[in-house]
Amino acid sequence: MKTYGGKVLFLDRSDINTDEIIPAKYLTEISKEALKPHMLEDFKFEGFNPQDQSLSEAKVIVTRSNFGCGSSREHAPWVFEVNDINVVIASSFARIFRQNMFNCGMLAIELSEKAIDELFAHRGADALISIDFDNDKLTMTSSRSSKTFDYQIAEFDKALVKAGGWVEFADLKY
């Protein structure tokens, strides 16, 4: 299994699409590693700079609703993966993106809008998120306070993460 948790990158907008996460022009790359410098390159948002140093330290993304909408490109989870981000927490995901995350053994965690608001309240305060995968809990710790949230992911998706992704799971089982 991959490692989950660490410093947090907050993306305070809904409907962030896969073209913003990794523009189509990089889809001609055959290696995941080549995507690395282009993460969120076309994501325009006040205060967000894709060249920002703190981006390279992030391990977890916290965002709003319908994250990952748009194209089916798995390059979106991959660009996070090669940047060492293996967890995205949102109030909802687009279906294909969500499945792509679990298929790659990464976590797409849904929390209520209220819980997401609480996570956002920690922004700019050295926020860290740790994940207790076996017990479906995540803890947000910052200089402000610390709080634990329960989350739910489908049993199937959990099994994929444990198996190291869908290819291994399916080739064994079907």
Partner 1 sequence: MTMTLAEKIFMSHLKDEPFPGTKVLNIDAVLCHEITTPVAINDLVARGKDRVFDPEKIKVVIDHVSPAKDTKTAIQGKIMRDWARRHNIRDFFDIGRNGVCHAIFPEKGYIRPGYTVIMGDSHTCTHGAFGAFAAGVGTTDLEVGILKGVCSFRAPETIRVNINGKLPDGVYAKDIILKVIKTLTVKGATDCVIEFRGDVVKGMSMESRMTLCNMAIEAGGTSGICMPDETTVGYLWPFISSDYKDKSAALADFKKWWSDEGCKYVKVLDIDVSTMQPQVTYGYKPDEVKDISEMEGTPVDQIYIGSCTNGRIEDLRVAAAYLKGRRISPLVRGVVSPATPRIFRQADEEGLIKIFMDSGFCVTNPTCGACLGMSNGVLAPGEVCASTTNRNFTGRMGKGGMVHLLSPAVAAVTAIVGKIADPRKFKKETI
- Indicate whether 1 belongs to the interface with partner 1 (CB under 8 A): no
User: Which of residues 8, 10, 11, 20 is near partner 1 by CB under 8 A?
Assistant: 20
- Interaction of residue 86 with partner 1, rule CB under 8 A: no
| Residues of this chain, 136-155, that bind partner 1 according to CB under 8 A | 154-155
- Neighbouring-strand partners of residue 87: 60, 107
Among residues 63, 61, 16, the alpha carbon closest in space to that of 42 is found at: 16
Burial 158-168 (b: 16+ CB within 10 A, else e): bebbebebbee
Which of 46-54, 68-76, 121-129, 134-142 is the region at the interface with partner 1 (rule: CB under 8 A)? Answer: 68-76
If binding is defined by CB under 8 A, does position 27 make contact with partner 1? yes
Q: What does the angle CA 64 – CA 61 – CA 36 come to, to the nearest 5 degrees?
A: 125
* Closest C-alpha among 30, 28, 26 to residue 40: 26
- Residue ranges that bind partner 1, judged by CB under 8 A: 15, 17, 19-20, 23-25, 27-30, 42, 44, 65-66, 69-74, 77, 92-97, 99-100, 103-104, 154-156, 159, 165-167, 170-171, 173-174
